Amino acid sequence: MDFSCLRLESRPEFWGESKWRDDMPGYETQQVGDVTEISTVPEKVPVPWLLVAIPGILLILIALSMGFIYGLVAAGFVYGAMYLLMHSKQATQYRVPSKFRVSKTGIDVAGTTIPKDAIHRVIVRNHILKAAESVIVVANPHPNSGQQNVVAGMNWAISKLGPISYRVDAEARGVPTTLAGGLTEPTASAIMMDVSKTLQLQTP
């Protein structure tokens, strides 16, 4: 029996020049000739239930004891607080779907071409964890102070937003261009390695 037709189907050229490859959740690559097209979907911002649960419930209960309308107002206030946290600049910055193309000659992203000769490195960054490094909290002896709310918000950002706020930047002529953001560290590292490999850059 002649199995040559089966062997033919297993050859890449049988399927054409374009080929998708699933890498990990939120990250896909498509090989088109010598060009690698990378698509990413950012991680969703988690709902800060634990951050607002206790103070929010207490506020609503106190408001309900004063009247049903006050309870509704308090519930609206709690919902608004969660909405603001989830849609703050800190939570949404760089958190958008991305698609860019990489080849041995450079990177095409958002309608801009960055030539390889101008790129000196591809790097992973995290604006949440970077901002937390420079924050100094001074203890306040007064209980129930506003400082406690600030610290609770910082802890939520570091523990919940931090792990899903990695991004990949390409630095050219001293100017960083974000290729993809809102990622986990493994996904961002994989993208950095793929981009550097395609560009034939040395990775750190």
83 and 162 Cβ atoms separated by less than 8 Å? no
Higher pLDDT, 182 or 130: 182
Q: Which residue has the higher pLDDT, 153 or 65?
A: 65
Rounded-to-integer distance, Cα 94 and Cα 97, Å: 9
Q: What digits encode the pLDDT tens for the residues 58-114?
A: 877 888 888 888 888 878 877 787 777 788 888 899 999 999 999 999 999 988 999
pLDDT in tens, 15-37: 344 444 445 667 898 888 889 99
Residue 20's pLDDT is what? Answer: 45
